[in-house]
Structure 1
Amino acid sequence: MKKLGFGAMRLPENGRFSKGIDLDLTCEMIDYFIEKGYNYFDTAYPYHSGKSEETLKKCLVERYSREDFILIDKLPTFFLKKEEDMEKYFNIQQERCGVEYFDYYLIHDIAKRNLNAIRKFNPYEYVKKLKKEGKVKHIGFSFHDDAEFLEEMLNEMPEIEVVMLQINYLDWESSAVQSRKCYEICRKYNKEIMVMEPLKGGTLVNVPDKAKDILKTSKPEMSVPSWALRFVAGLKDVSIVFSGMHSIEDVKENIETMDNFEPLDEKEHKILQDVAGIIKGVNIIPCTYCNYCAENCEDNIPISKFFELYNADLRENHFKFSKYLDEYNEYASIAAYASDCTFCGNCVDSCPQQLDIPEYMGDVADYFE
């Protein structure tokens, strides 16, 4: 099995402000991906406001034999209001994707902020029932919390087969994400490990110039993203690494890395530690641009996009004459400004990175406005 998976959370869209997915380009990306011998695809109910699952139906399921691909979907614990909702969402997902079964079905976003729903509705028993009925082949959960809570959940859900973890070299020793500690807990319990956010939403693609110079000087033939992919793919017991691909160039570059895969050596690990230190020193907002926050924003603020523009400006050192100010104003004029935030807190409750988003919104407003 090849270790690269196609993440369908950041599919290409039609136009700058459009929420519609570019189907022709997505089909081209999927065709190239499968042609090169890769077949794992990951989606979820909220990705692209539900359009991700529908797009995979059109570009993948309706164009390839079912045995040609492995499809992963997730039960949205954060949307559950009553027990019957689990079956409701699963049926919707089956219809959206156009499949009779999912190869993997994960409980989405196991975290303390979703603990009430986990305790009240017991999605663990529900996914076990789906497996028994043959509607899913393997069960697991995606995880966004600390290692201690992960161990607690694995003890409560012993039949879970796979855990999807956020792992990358920037979060490896993070006190919030705890990539290394969570990885070690999964190995302790002999669970299959899938990796999400290996590039941290593009943060490890668009690194500061100083960090980029170090990587390019060390290995000129390697792209900046390939360092991050090699870091996670080289970890023991990692079965698949999902990269959210936005263009055909992303697909080709990631495949080139994995087709010619070499694990990092000790010297290269040390280089990435230095690079991580540089990135952290720039004071960028540690956002992965998943956009869960914006989906729940009462003020209609494009939070992830504003964070992306803010981070890009900081990385490129345009502190006095902002390179991205015009783009910020374009988005704000269509939706809302960062200063329109009313501090309702909905965004905080939905953030997998546990960010104090209203506080960061103040930073963005001060910076751009």
Structure 2
Amino acid sequence: MENKSNKNINRRNFLKVLGGTALASATVLPGCKNRQEAAHTATTEVPTDQMTYRTNPKTQDRVSLLGYGMMRLPNIPSPDGTRSTIDQEAVNELVDYAIAHGVNYFDTSPVYMQGGSEKSTGIALKRYPRDKYFVATKLSNFSNFTRENSITMYRKSFENLQVDYIDYYLLHSIGNGGIETFRARYIDNGILDFLVEERKAGRIRNLGFSFHGTQAVFDEVLAMHETVHWDFVQIQLNYVDWRHASGNNVNAEYLYAELKKRNIPAVIMEPLLGGRLSNVPDHIAATLKQHTPEASVASWAFRFAGSFPDVLTVLSGMTYMEHLQDNLRTYSPLHPLTDDDLAFLEETAQLMLRYPTIPCNDCKYCMPCPYGIDIPAILVHYNKCINEGNVPASSQDENYRKARRAFLVGYDRSVPKLRQASHCIGCHQCVSHCPQSINIPKELHRIDRFVEDLKQGKEF
């Protein structure tokens, strides 16, 4: 039994409990603040036995509506101090808490966390009986399409995860590069046929794909259902992308409807649109809080994603304990949105579109940059400042001086100088990897010009 009288706690454990927010509050500096933690904060207790589950129509798997995305795991400095490494102790604690509260679906990839996510996930889950969880991973053969490399990557996943079968296996991020790239990655090399045989052998329990790209690619790959028999499909779905998808992405309303026609369960990624739906502009956050004062801003997005009956699970990359706890509140149990709620969120989505943010979801597929630029950190900082009114449209704006200082100080805090946008040479290596089809060099150069104008005090 826990000794409640023991009030001694070391700094490491204290920061874990607070999810890093103690650092932010202990050192209050000017800059664009990170409201994501606050946006996840709700006021009610975390239920322990009320998780909502959905049933896979093929396997009868009883899957938790909240799925754990292992893309953004907690980090600590490496022993030599030159880089960061996954904090396995913190990962174990998060996984333990998730399982204790009903979460049983864990999603990873060979490329997440610079290749460390699968192994970390395997270490955390190996401590549990194999029938207590479902694990999903992917064939992330983005840079080397050969059959040999693809099969090696597939088999390495079993080793990393310490399993002899994979519950949900995906062709990763199809659509990037068009149908020709899809064929090169999976058809011409015989890999899709190989994976179908692996499913027959029982080493894959469910075979599907995750999608970013054009409707033409989605339609062609989905049409293969007649021969491949896709068991599930992972799509980007949230209340903005439902009808207002950006770049080459397809409206989630269409994607979901096409899956529903075929009775294919949908796994949902990016319910928060890379965190942008938890870090909304102040007046939008206030409106959401007026409707449900006791709930977090983020909970609206999770309720939206979970309200569709053919959704099997909704993935969330929960780095901090408070994120996990808030999402557990939302789905324990889920209170589906009403028609009035859906109409309200459509109005909210249209308000969000008025803010000229860059559609970066912080997925880090663009990393590492060969020139050391921290691309996601730059774009995320810019978007935060847009939402908080700290990107002045003109040097004549009333709050120009305050916004200028907030942007510049926050930029230096968020991104080390050697990793800032000024070092981009426009090699375009990152562009083909971006699921949101962002012209990354163009945006980095634009942000760099804006930063230089602010530093030099130029009028604009």
TM-score (norm 1): 0.94
Is the Cα–Cα contact under 8 Å of residues 306 and 336 in structure 2 kept in the other structure? yes
Q: Answer with 1 or 2: which has the greater Rg.
A: 2
Provide the C-alpha distance between the structure 2 equivalents of 1:103 and 1:227, rounded to a whole number of angstroms: 29
Structure 2: give runs of 5+ residues left out of the alignment: 1-52, 54-63, 392-402, 453-460
Matched, 1:13 2:75: yes
Provide the C-alpha distance between the structure 2 equivalents of 1:332 and 1:212, rounded to a whole number of angstroms: 26
Q: Partner amino acid for 2:214? A: D
Aligned to 2:213: 145
Match of 1:166 among 230, 236, 241: 236
C-alpha deviation, 1:326, in angstroms = 3.4
Q: Per-residue CA shift, 1:269-319, capped at 9, x if unaligned? A: 122112212222111111110001123x22221101111111111111123
Structure 1: give runs of 5+ residues left out of the alignment: none
Matched, 1:264 2:328: no
Aligned to 2:160: 96
Provide the C-alpha distance between the structure 2 equivalents of 1:30 and 1:137, rounded to a whole number of angstroms: 22
Mean CA deviation greater in 231-240 or 313-322: 313-322
C-alpha deviation, 1:14, in angstroms = 1.5
- Identical-residue share of aligned pairs (%): 32
C-alpha deviation, 1:335, in angstroms = 4.1
Is the Cα–Cα contact under 8 Å of residues 103 and 137 in structure 1 kept in the other structure? yes
Aligned to 1:347: 430
Note the 1:32-181 alignment, pairs <5 A: 32-61=97-126, 63-113=127-177, 114-115=181-182, 116-158=184-226, 159-175=229-245, 176-177=248-249, 178-181=251-254
Q: Partner amino acid for 2:276? A: T
Provide the C-alpha distance between the structure 1 equivalents of 2:111 and 2:294, rounded to a whole number of angstroms: 37
Matched, 1:293 2:333: no
Equivalent residue of 1:242, what SS?
strand
Match of 2:377 among 297, 305, 311: 305
Q: Partner amino acid for 1:249? A: E
Matched, 1:3 2:30: no
Equivalent residue of 1:77, what SS?
coil
TM-score (norm 2): 0.76
Is the Cα–Cα contact under 8 Å of residues 105 and 127 in structure 1 kept in the other structure? no
Between the two proteins, the alignment pairs up a number of residues equal to 367
Q: Per-residue CA shift, 1:220-245, capped at 9, x if unaligned? A: 12211110000010013111111111
Mean CA deviation greater in 91-100 or 116-125: 116-125
Aligned to 1:234: 307
Higher helix proportion (structure 1 or 2): 1
Provide the C-alpha distance between the structure 1 equivalents of 2:82 and 2:438, rounded to a whole number of angstroms: 25
C-alpha deviation, 1:17, in angstroms = 8.8
Is the Cα–Cα contact under 8 Å of residues 377 and 415 in structure 2 kept in the other structure? no
Aligned to 1:225: 298
Q: Per-residue CA shift, 1:310-343, capped at 9, x if unaligned? A: 1111111123324253353356546432122122
Equivalent residue of 2:242, what SS?
coil
C-alpha deviation, 1:68, in angstroms = 1.0
Residues 330, 207 of structure 1: alpha-carbon distance in 2 compared, 3 angstrom cutoff: closer
Provide the C-alpha distance between the structure 2 equivalents of 1:332 and 1:94, rounded to a whole number of angstroms: 36
Is the Cα–Cα contact under 8 Å of residues 75 and 107 in structure 1 kept in the other structure? yes
Is the Cα–Cα contact under 8 Å of residues 25 and 247 in structure 1 kept in the other structure? no
C-alpha deviation, 1:71, in angstroms = 0.2
